[in-house]
Chain A
């Protein structure tokens, strides 16, 4: 290298030149031919399924060419003004911000919008809405509740508990038999918020109503306000701490989500507070394990049972998209009922449309009647903006921290955030 400075310089210059030519050529390849639709999908488990759908769709017509985008950064795309043309992803507070600011186009004139179940469409509005628009169409809903090991329940002669007292009785009997009732994975804060916090709060409190009032109060939230985390959620969260203290595995604090799936698949506990996404992970270890689900009973009324839901996938088309027409065509293709049913069956999701096929997988069948009757709530932890570290606060409670102080801190954070916005 040192002997041929000229040659080295030339090689370096040539490689730099090649890089530039290469990128220009790639630029040339675009622009002609069918309308290109960038389809953003970040759920990695669903990529093989949608890859197949895309190649079938691209082969079936010549007007639109759909390109799967599983890696681009959404915030950067919207900021730059070239977001993906069609998004199909988890719908949450963060996504709601784009909608709130009118970055997503109106889809209410599409026939697909009329097929969505009203109670499911309402879930979208619970986070935010943009007046006069239907910006987001739910594609799949995940219902989550207690996953239980049917074999252990059968061996112990246990029935699915319908009231809080029955739940305690089940836990006591399991403990006596030397079986861990619940498997806790408190090392991962999100598992505490998603399972323990959301199920206990959702089982006792009207989550959507609570946050409506909290949003109205804004900066007023505090020790003297009519509703507050400290006041309204104290009872369920204290119950959560009692359940954790008495009925989880002693090493829960050092176990993560992966450990939990493995241990539960090996039958090391009878119940597990996770959503259907964990079922696929458990099946990696034991595909034949007989599992069922039931809503966590938090009151003494056997009719007062609800499951936690979240919009696993929702479709939207940004205002800034340059291929709205193509995106709409592909959206219609995606919302074909048979395709939706096939997707939901493969991912253990619940359908979002009036004509959706009923779920049949025995593992999630236990939640069907509650979903069909709209007895569900969206997780309480998901309605708090990510700026507030809710998951970490709930983890603190799970590890034995003070309930009152943690909830009071949440109130303070909520009021401060409301002041800033």
Chain B
């Protein structure tokens, strides 16, 4: 989880700078007077960064379209010849792909929505009551959860969710929200501190209640940070293997990453099937990123500057 934010930030920078769209960053360099000389070395560095993403992606795509014989021939970089969609067909037949996909989507949607709403509400309460001890401590309490990895609490959570009938995707969604909350509150509170109190006061003078102030004024202002929080929550939830695998008891309601684990075992490799399946699972994440990268970028820089 902690790796993904860093990766995203890097991607955005790379794409941005290569296309020459990064005015803020460039101007910083220009001020220091190093942009003219270092642009080539910087470009090469960024190309190298981009390559670390593009090459695995290329292997995934080309592997997915290979035949079984070609997939195990040891040449990962070769183009598929002959072109085959066998992998996709087998992957589709071996698993109940549509159900797993739907479960993954529902869990992820629930996690994203829950994390944003709960995170924003909690952060609003905390940052506006910072002078009160209870709120300050609850902030530290929530943050402390960041230092608690899931495997440590896995066994009691399996038992607890089983006891209360949450050994299903709903339980996984709740746990995803809980584990995502601390990081999101950290981002939200940092952002909220930068919103001037005068804005809220003016809303109060116009007669707005706290609830109205939040939904009409603060929540819209939080939008860039909500996007960032939402994207982190999306990635963490969509890619998670361990929690759904342990918490969900009904195999028919498993998520994509867990269902896909059958394609590779110790004794046999079905690279073309696995990669076809991974590609189908990756597609939504890539599409979401394509449409939201502007927000990711804004969110990351806003958080970084103001935080």
Chain A: residues with CB nearer than 8 A to chain B? 1-3, 5-6, 8-9, 12-13, 15-16, 18-20, 22-23, 26-27, 38, 42-45, 47-48, 67-73, 76-77, 79-82, 190, 257-259, 261-262, 275, 277-278, 280-281, 284-285
Residue B35 at the chain A interface, CB threshold 8 Å: no
Determine the residue in chain A with the shortest Cβ distance to B102: A22
* CB–CB A44/B72 < 8 A: no
Q: Which residues of B contact A12 (CB under 8 A)?
A: 113, 116-117
CA distance A293 to B202 in the complex (A): 85
- Could you list 6 examples of A-B contacts with CB < 8 Å? A12-B116, A12-B117, A15-B109, A76-B246, A280-B268, A281-B268
* CB–CB B262/A47 < 8 A: yes
* CB–CB A23/B170 < 8 A: yes
CA distance A27 to B219 in the complex (A): 35
Most buried by A among B72, B216, B221, B263: B72
Determine the residue in chain A with the shortest Cβ distance to B220: A2
Given contacts A15-B109, A44-B265, contact A5 B73 (CB under 8 A): no
* CB–CB B72/A285 < 8 A: yes
Q: Which residues of A contact B73 (CB under 8 A)?
A: 262, 285
* CB–CB B262/A262 < 8 A: no
Determine the residue in chain B with the shortest Cβ distance to A259: B74
* CB–CB B221/A79 < 8 A: no
CA distance A414 to B168 in the complex (A): 39
Contact for A9 among B114, B219, B251, CB less than 8 A: B219
Determine the residue in chain A with the shortest Cβ distance to B242: A73
Shortest distance in angstroms between A73's beta carbon and chain B's nearest beta carbon?
A: 5
Q: Which residues of B contact A77 (CB under 8 A)?
A: 249
| Extra 4 A-B pairs, beta carbons < 8 Å, given A16-B113, A16-B114 | A44-B94, A76-B246, A77-B249, A190-B266
CA distance A275 to B168 in the complex (A): 38
Q: Which residues of B contact A1 (CB under 8 A)?
A: 223
Q: Which residues of B contact A6 (CB under 8 A)?
A: 215
Per-residue interface assignment for chain B, residues 53 to 83, with 1 indicating a CB less than 8 Å from any chain A CB and 0 otherwise: 0000000000000001100111000000000
Chain B: residues with CB nearer than 8 A to chain A? 68-69, 72-74, 93-94, 106-107, 109-110, 113-114, 116-117, 155, 158-159, 161-162, 167-170, 173, 215-216, 219-221, 223, 245-254, 258-259, 261-263, 265-270
Contact for A76 among B249, B262, B267, B268, CB less than 8 A: B249
Q: Which residues of B contact A281 (CB under 8 A)?
A: 72, 267-269
Contact for B261 among A23, A67, A71, A190, CB less than 8 A: A71
Determine the residue in chain B with the shortest Cβ distance to A43: B265
* CB–CB A69/B251 < 8 A: yes
Q: Which residues of A contact B269 (CB under 8 A)?
A: 258, 281
Contact for B251 among A13, A72, A190, A257, CB less than 8 A: A72
Q: Which residues of B contact A68 (CB under 8 A)?
A: 251
Q: Which residues of A contact B110 (CB under 8 A)?
A: 15-16, 19
Q: Which residues of B contact A44 (CB under 8 A)?
A: 94, 262-263, 265, 268, 270
CA distance A8 to B261 in the complex (A): 36
Given contacts A12-B113, A258-B72, contact A72 B262 (CB under 8 A): no
Determine the residue in chain A with the shortest Cβ distance to B216: A5
Determine the residue in chain B with the shortest Cβ distance to A23: B170
Shortest distance in angstroms between B292's beta carbon and chain A's nearest beta carbon?
A: 11
| In the complex, the 8 A-B pairs of residues with the closest C-beta atoms, listed nearest first | A80-B162, A69-B251, A277-B267, A2-B220, A12-B113, A2-B223, A19-B110, A44-B262
Q: Which residues of A contact B114 (CB under 8 A)?
A: 16
Q: Which residues of A contact B258 (CB under 8 A)?
A: 71
CA distance A8 to B247 in the complex (A): 30
CA distance A67 to B269 in the complex (A): 25
* CB–CB B219/A67 < 8 A: no
* CB–CB A15/B113 < 8 A: yes
Q: Which residues of B contact A5 (CB under 8 A)?
A: 215-216, 219-220
Most buried by A among B110, B215, B247, B254: B110
Determine the residue in chain A with the shortest Cβ distance to B245: A73
Shortest distance in angstroms between B99's beta carbon and chain A's nearest beta carbon?
A: 10
Contact for A82 among B117, B220, B249, B263, CB less than 8 A: B249
* CB–CB A71/B245 < 8 A: yes
Given contacts A12-B117, A47-B94, contact A19 B251 (CB under 8 A): no
Shortest distance in angstroms between B268's beta carbon and chain A's nearest beta carbon?
A: 6
Q: Which residues of B contact A261 (CB under 8 A)?
A: 72
Q: Which residues of A contact B265 (CB under 8 A)?
A: 42-45
Q: Which residues of A contact B251 (CB under 8 A)?
A: 38, 67-72
Q: Which residues of B contact A71 (CB under 8 A)?
A: 245, 251, 254, 258-259, 261-262
Q: Which residues of A contact B221 (CB under 8 A)?
A: 2
Given contacts A44-B263, A284-B72, contact A67 B162 (CB under 8 A): no
CA distance A15 to B108 in the complex (A): 11
CA distance A3 to B246 in the complex (A): 40
Contact for B253 among A3, A9, A26, A43, CB less than 8 A: A26
Shortest distance in angstroms between B189's beta carbon and chain A's nearest beta carbon?
A: 19
Shortest distance in angstroms between A294's beta carbon and chain B's nearest beta carbon?
A: 21
Q: Which residues of B contact A3 (CB under 8 A)?
A: 220
Most buried by A among B113, B245, B261: B113
* CB–CB A76/B215 < 8 A: no
* CB–CB A20/B262 < 8 A: no
Determine the residue in chain A with the shortest Cβ distance to B161: A80
* CB–CB A72/B167 < 8 A: no
CA distance A202 to B279 in the complex (A): 44
Shortest distance in angstroms between A34's beta carbon and chain B's nearest beta carbon?
A: 15
Determine the residue in chain A with the shortest Cβ distance to B100: A71
CA distance A259 to B269 in the complex (A): 11
CA distance A184 to B158 in the complex (A): 41
Shortest distance in angstroms between B186's beta carbon and chain A's nearest beta carbon?
A: 21
CA distance A239 to B207 in the complex (A): 88
Q: Which residues of A contact B247 (CB under 8 A)?
A: 76
Q: Which residues of B contact A190 (CB under 8 A)?
A: 266
* CB–CB B245/A19 < 8 A: no
* CB–CB B155/A79 < 8 A: yes
Q: Which residues of B contact A20 (CB under 8 A)?
A: 170
CA distance A69 to B259 in the complex (A): 10
